[in-house]
Structure 1
Amino acid sequence: MKRARRLSLIGIGPIGASIIKLAHNRKYQWIGAVDIDPQKRGKDLGQVAGLKRKLGVQVESSLERVLQQKPDLVIHSTVSSLEKAYPQIMECVHAGVDVISTTEELAYPYQRHNELAKRLDQQAKKNNVTVLGTGVNPGFLMDLLPLTLTGPCWEVRHLLVERRIDADLRRGPFQHKIGAGLSVVEFNQTISVGGGHVGLLESLYMVAAGLGITIDHIEESIEPMIAAAPFNGRLIAVDKGKVLGLRQSAQGYSNGHEIISLSFAAFLGLENPADRIVLDGEPTIEMVIPGGIPGDPATAAMAVNSIANVLAASAGLVTMKDLPVPRAMGSWADTEVGPYEI
């Protein structure tokens, strides 16, 4: 097993900042970071992340310079699109550095981006490194967690996963991503160019592969949730008739029968937010997480908690279903911040 303590980061947005804090608390050493924001360049990484101390690491504009410092592992936290993230990830691979990325389309890229996935796998093996895409969704809630719950089952006939988020409690970029405040026409235009939640299909295909199911076809839907009355939110006010958010779903069919159903609802003012998994099988299992798992801190935790598994993994492109279930190694008792303060 490779042993690494020296980390570098690509992307210091809200999730990247949380990754910095959590990894620092877990006694990893940050030796480099890169970001495209000119306001962050040249500043100390601890300051940019909101830590109470400096880390002695200057935020760079050049990934090449960061990789020259020979990190043991790079955590990549920038965009959802694999096509956009691919050049940065491949640059790390060619430098001989393991990569953990929060790029949603990397969570299970073999269906929608098979050629990119094959190239990443080939180059990772050639350079003896491991590449993993992870996060809370995709990467855990709608794929790894339900797969884990099938462990005591003799048979699984159907899987339902529902994620319900009150978007009023989330940060502004998330509200923007789900179309809050747009007109219906603007919402439809945004969806037509790839808007909405990214990762639903990646989760569906990962679950199917994990259960050995061949998916014949998939049905998808995305619809806006319209304000029946004016809504005054924490960050945004939405007029009657405008969009509060969205409801998105994907169903996977095998031999003419629906086998997997994933449902994602996120809009301002959603009541009774929760995450719910129902396995119809022998036995039938139902899990409900009241309030739901907070997305940003959980994604940061999935990245940091996966470091040990990536270091122990064989070279190549891997997914969460290929690795042991990540664990929160280490105690919060002697750290600066708790898990939901990051």
Structure 2
Amino acid sequence: MTIRVVEWSTGYLGRMAVEGIDARPELELVGVFVSDPAKVGRDAGRLAGMGRDLGVAATDDAAALLALDPDVVVYTAETETRFMEAIEDFQRFLRAGVDVVASGPVLLQFPHGTIPEEMIAALDAAGREGGATLHVNGIDPGFANDVLPLVMTSLSRRIDHIRVGEIADYSVYHQGETMRRLFGFGQPMDTLPPLLRPGMLAAGWGSVVRQLAAALDVTLDEPLVERHERLPAVRDLSLLACEVPEGTQAALRFEVVGQVDGEDRIVLEHVTRTADDQAPDWPRPDHGDGCYRVEISGEPAMRIEFGHHAEHGDHNESGMRVTAMRLVNSVEAVVAAAPGLVYAKDLPMITGRGLMSR
């Protein structure tokens, strides 16, 4: 069965999604939404940098795209600063009977305990009304800290503690607004960035901790515990996204912790550097310049590192690639799922079927 797909945005992630949709044998790209007037009318293949036409012209007319009767929207538009607008988009698609696979808002990966239950119920109701499904995922939050650790737990006899996390060099991360304003890189050490205000870390990554707990039938203490540590730059740094003067924030380590009876049981950790010589006592990848790490204490004890690197780029580019492909490769399973919200823990195994190179 051919699945008719609309790609929503042609930013960095959206361009990779267009390529991915074109590569999947069961998917047919029928429309592309753009918000930039300069992109309207341009062919999707050219916008995606594929060097060829796909025969699909981009448009900023949302109603016209829904009139194409797509089966699913792959939604890669920016959502962290337009949360309610994204929710409204999702409800409109779902009521129209169109499934949605989205990269954000990330807390919708498993929103219970993070946003009001009535908001979750409204999204679920929109899906049931239209007979459509919403799935939000990616790589982190996403596959690296929900699917991967849950697959590993299938090997366990006893689970004492789970730690999942990212260890990365963000010097080549290109999102200036995120790096400087949200994370606080390059900002004075006496200025607390928005990400580290009470409740913000749990809002961003608590969905990971709570989804793992729900999948393992564990009841966590509330609220989740947040911890962080910051280090200043010892010299001026020039990053891809921003400047980091000496003495301003240059490295960040944080945890979002799910406890049971006051004891750490499920921990989401991020270790972020902007130069290789920073924070020598913080965790480092066993190989390469960044990784996702899963550690499970119990019987047996298990640990795995997952790394990636682009064929023609760095780990930042490949990070976007794996995010886009996790969404695109999930489309068939989401289309087959029951209406309403569906989470990573509930989907069947998703593979790269049909993608082996010839």
Relative to the length of structure 2, the TM-score reads: 0.85
Question: What is residue 231 of structure 2 aligned with on the other side?
Answer: 225
Structure 1 stretch 287-296 or stretch 211-220: which is displaced more? 287-296
Equivalent-residue separation in structure 2 for 1:239 and 1:87 (angstroms): 40
Is 1:178 the equivalent of 2:180? no
The DSSP-based 3-state class of the residue aligned with 2:39 is coil
Change in 2 beyond 3 A, CA 1:244/1:309:
same
Q: Which residue does the alignment assign to 1:319?
A: 343
Aligned with 1:8: secondary structure? strand
CA distance in 1, matches of 2:171, 2:226: 25
Q: 1:241 and 1:194 mapped to 2: Cα distance?
A: 26
Q: Does 1:260 align with 2:263?
A: no
Stretches (4+) displaced over 6 A: 193-198
Note the C-alpha offset of 1:325.
2.6
Report the counterpart of residue 40 of structure 1 in structure 2.
Answer: 39
Report percent identity of matched pairs: 26
What is aligned with 1:337? none
Describe how 1:1-342 pairs up with structure 2 within 5 A: 3-27=1-25, 28-81=27-80, 82-103=83-104, 104-113=106-115, 114-173=117-176, 175-176=179-180, 177-188=182-193, 191-192=196-197, 199-217=204-222, 218-234=224-240, 236-270=242-276, 272=285, 273-290=290-307, 294-334=318-358
Change (3 A) 1:118 1:5: same
Question: 1:339 corresponds to which residue?
Answer: none
Question: Residue 132 and residue 4 in structure 1: after superposition, are their counterparts in 2 closer, same or farther (change >3 A)?
Answer: farther
Number of residue pairs matched? 332
Counterpart CA distance in 2 for 1:133 and 1:161 is 19
- Asked whether the 8 Å contact 1:100–1:133 carries over to 2, the reply is yes
* Residues 49 and 241 of structure 1: CA distance in aligned 2, closer, same or farther (over 3 Å): same
CA contact (8 A) 2:230 2:249 kept: yes
Pairwise CA distance, 1:5: 2.4
Does the 8 A contact of 1:247 with 1:266 survive in 2? yes
Bigger drift between 184-193 and 121-130 goes to: 184-193
Deviation at 1:110, TM superposition (A): 1.8
CA RMSD of aligned residues (A): 2.4
Gaps spanning 5+ residues in structure 2: where?
Answer: 278-284, 310-314
One-letter code of the match for 2:207? E
For the 8 Å contact 1:9–1:32, the answer to whether it is kept is: yes
Q: CA deviation at 1:286?
A: 1.0
Change in 2 beyond 3 A, CA 1:198/1:53: farther
Q: Tell me how far apart the structure 1 counterparts of residues 38 and 201 of structure 2 sit (CA, whole Å).
A: 28
Q: 1:100 deviation in Å?
A: 0.4
CA distance in 2 between partners of 1:92 and 1:274 (Å):
35
Q: CA deviation at 1:212?
A: 0.5
> How many Å apart are 1:274 and its aligned residue?
2.4
What SS is found at the alignment partner of 1:39?
Answer: helix
